[in-house]
């Protein structure tokens, strides 16, 4: 793996140029971390420095938030006996707080205590199986965002009830994109695209002054190159997609994916095949984290509840929903930025 990563990184950094206009300097690196192939393309005088600082930050945060690395904060917390307080880093603590907040506001559809359930389906170790209803019912007794506890005041302690295990996989990459945005800001980067699989940050605009164009994967055509459900034309924004197609297995002709409905312990079966949440980057805000938590939660909710949630939440984010029955539903705040792919066969709807 180390050799592969080195090869990829060197191959791409071979593209770096030193043109006359410092704004046009570009560093493009590929980073494999958090089970994801990431691509950072950064422009400007400090592009090389910022791209590698972003890589360092990803690796630092992965070391804290990973559920599989034994020394991470999350692993230490999970391994601790029930009720024992474990001191975690400020990042981990911030993200645990965010996870609880998003659980609360999404009526528990976002839940970072589904780890034992995900493991039972084999998503942790890639050893896929279909657990029995009895097994799932047993595991669900230890699931619930109110079953882990954050100390009051200045201390950075967290603890959990018996049998509870944390998995920040539904929100961690969003937090990482927020952290990368800070690095881009600190280094006065004029433009960049940061792709962490389904989590994308576009920074500034394209060198020709037009918005960046992000393709939304068509969940029904994952094997087709350039199979898109539509496009987003964005500047300074996060776009995060959750979809069953991103991780799944098949057994006896049925497909089981990785986004679990906390109400059933089973892969969410809400009629949606993907949810994309879009929000502007705003200084000092954590909109990458917001998009990531909400994309997961709204995928579980399904179209009707997701749109109700959007309508009652104000104007902080916009949505593109792809439905099982062949529609692409976008919210009206995206009117100027969402473009259908006319070849996709979907029916397009805008909602307000
Ligand atoms: P995402 O791709 O952001 O939607 O996150 C999916 C990942 O989050 C899964 O691979 C699990 O690690 C975790 N997860 C699954 N279901 C949920 C859920 N309902 N709430 C929070 N995290 C979840
Ligand atoms: Mg998510």
Domains of the chain: 1-352 (3.10.520.10)
Arithmetic mean of pLDDT, 24-51: 95
Q: Is the pLDDT of residue 5 over 60?
A: no
Structure-token match 């940061």, residue found: 194
Q: How far is the CA of 65 from the centre of ligand 2 (A)?
A: 14
Cα of 282 vs centre of ligand 1, distance in Å, is 25
Mean pLDDT of the chain, nearest integer: 93
Q: What is the distance between the alpha carbons of residues 286 and 118, in angstroms, rounded to a whole number?
A: 26
40 in Cβ contact with 51 (< 8 Å): yes
Residue 54 has pLDDT above 70, yes or no: yes
| DSSP codes of every residue in 271-305 | SEEEEEEEEE--TT--HHHHHHHHHHHHHHH-HHH
Backbone angles phi, psi at 174, to 5 degrees: -65, -40
Per-residue pLDDT band for 58 (boundaries 50, 70, 90) equals very high
Report the helix count and the strand count for the chain, using DSSP H and E: 9, 19
Ligand 1 atom at minimum distance from 199 CA? 3
Length of the chain: 352
Q: Is the pLDDT of residue 224 over 90?
A: no
- Using the predicted structure, report yes or no on whether residue 22 has a pLDDT greater than 70: no
Please tell me what DSSP assigns to residue 51.
H
Confirm or reject: Cβ of 118 under 6 Å from ligand 1.
Answer: yes
Q: Which atom of ligand 1 approaches the CA of 240 most closely? A: 3
Kindly report which listed range (3-7, 249-253, 277-281, 325-329) carries the lowest average pLDDT score: 3-7
Residue 266 has pLDDT above 90, yes or no: yes
How far apart are the CA of 296 and the centre of ligand 1, in A?
A: 6
Rounded to whole angstroms, how far apart are CA atoms 71 and 29?
Answer: 27
Q: What is the pTM of this model?
A: 0.93
d(CA 115, CA 117): 5
Report whether pLDDT(206) > 90: yes
User: For 106-115, what is the mean pLDDT?
Assistant: 98
Q: Please name the residue whose Cα sits nearest to atom 6 of ligand 1.
A: 170
């Amino acid at each position: 793996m180390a050799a592969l990563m080195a090869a990829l990184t060197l191959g791409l950094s071979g593209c770096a140029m030193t043109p006359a206009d410092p704004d046009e300097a570009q560093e493009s690196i590929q980073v494999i971390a958090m089970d994801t192939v990431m691509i950072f393309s950064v422009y400007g005088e400090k592009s090389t420095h910022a791209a590698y600082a972003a890589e360092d930050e990803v690796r630092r945060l992965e070391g804290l938030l990973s559920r599989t690395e034994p020394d991470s904060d999350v692993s230490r917390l999970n391994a601790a006996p029930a009720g024992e307080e474990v001191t975690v880093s400020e990042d981990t603590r911030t993200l645990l707080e965010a996870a609880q907040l998003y659980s609360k506001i999404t009526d528990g559809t976002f839940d970072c205590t589904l780890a034992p359930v995900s493991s039972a389906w084999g998503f942790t170790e890639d050893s896929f199986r279909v657990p029995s209803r009895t097994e799932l019912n047993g595991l669900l007794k230890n699931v619930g965002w109110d079953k882990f506890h954050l100390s009051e005041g200045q201390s950075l302690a967290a603890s959990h009830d018996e049998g509870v295990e944390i998995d920040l996989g539904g929100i961690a990459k969003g937090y990482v994109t927020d952290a990368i945005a800070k690095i881009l800001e600190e280094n006065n980067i004029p433009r960049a695209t940061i792709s962490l699989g389904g989590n994308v940050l576009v920074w500034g605009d394209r060198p020709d002054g037009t918005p960046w164009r992000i393709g939304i994967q068509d969940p029904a055509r994952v094997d087709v190159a350039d199979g898109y459900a539509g496009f987003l034309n964005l500047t300074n924004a996060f776009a995060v997609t959750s979809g069953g197609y991103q991780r799944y297995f098949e057994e006896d002709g049925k497909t089981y994916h990785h986004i679990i409905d906390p109400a059933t312990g089973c892969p969410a079966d809400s009629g949606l095949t993907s949810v994309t949440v879009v929000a502007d980057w705003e200084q000092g805000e954590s909109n990458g984290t917001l998009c990531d938590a909400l994309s997961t939660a709204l995928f579980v909710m399904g179209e009707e509840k997701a749109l109700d949630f959007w309508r009652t939440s104000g104007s902080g984010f916009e949505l593109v929903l792809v439905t099982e029955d062949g529609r692409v539903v976008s919210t009206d705040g995206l009117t100027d930025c969402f473009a259908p792919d006319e070849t996709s066969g979907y029916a397009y709807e805008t909602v307000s």
